[in-house]
Amino acid sequence: MDWQAECAAVIPCLNEAATIGPLVQEVRRRVPAVLVVDDGSSDATGSMAQAAGAEVLRNGAARGKGAALQAGWRRAFERGFSWALTMDGDGQHSPEDIPIFFRCAERTSAPLVVGNRMGKAGSMPWLRRRVNHWMSRRLTVTAGRLLPDSQCGFRLMKLSAWAGLRISATHFEIESEVLLAFVRAGLEVEFVPVRAIYKDEQSKIHPVRDAVRWLKWWWGRDF
């Protein structure tokens, strides 16, 4: 597989001017095509990403991570890419781990490969770790198979498989919805170990608001 030609990186961002430029430069060493979706940032996220070599899609106002990801995936699909590599824009995911996803997809032919941070969960902030465990257990029961890190946004996805699914989440519940949609469709999902880099960044996840939104999604799902 010629990953440099077949894969585009999709990075949703909200006020990530401090990290997005170096991240885009590092990612482009492995995936030359980078699409940054600037979800209504009030800082220089978009211009910094563009200066680093990314194509930038801009939302005039924040629409949510899920909406930003869907916009990036659509653009990658329209441009003829077969795969999308998704990363967060805050520097939490290491570009050095990108080849791990490619090797897994080549070995297993899985159309969705998800990063698994749980091997080194001790490095995660306590609240994130507990919430992730709680959500992952519930999704595991529903899916009927182990989903060890259901909330990791570091993923490799085959766009033709995504295009055939109904995905409607617009916020952080997008990770859960994509997982269950792939499993429900009988599509293979693989997990690969990745590192997670936690510094002093402020998480875009609001612990109360986004937990309530996830629960509403969970109770309202039709599968």
What's the pLDDT at 219? 64
The Cα 130–Cα 98 span in angstroms is 26
CA of residue 91 relative to chain centroid, distance: 13
Long-range contacts, 135-138 (Cβ 8 Å, 24+)? 135/176, 135/214, 138/218
Just give the CATH number of 3-220: 3.90.550.10
What's the pLDDT at 97? 97
The Cα 84–Cα 102 span in angstroms is 11
Amino acid sitting at position 51: A
pTM recorded for the entire structure: 0.87
What's the pLDDT at 211? 61
The Cα 115–Cα 88 span in angstroms is 12
Pairing type for strands 155-158 and 83-86 reads antiparallel
What's the pLDDT at 39? 95
Positive/negative CA dihedral, 100, 103, 108, 111 = positive
The Cα 199–Cα 125 span in angstroms is 10
Residue ranges in the chain whose pLDDT is less than 70: 119-128, 132, 198-223
Where do the structural domains in the chain lie, given as residue ranges?
3-220
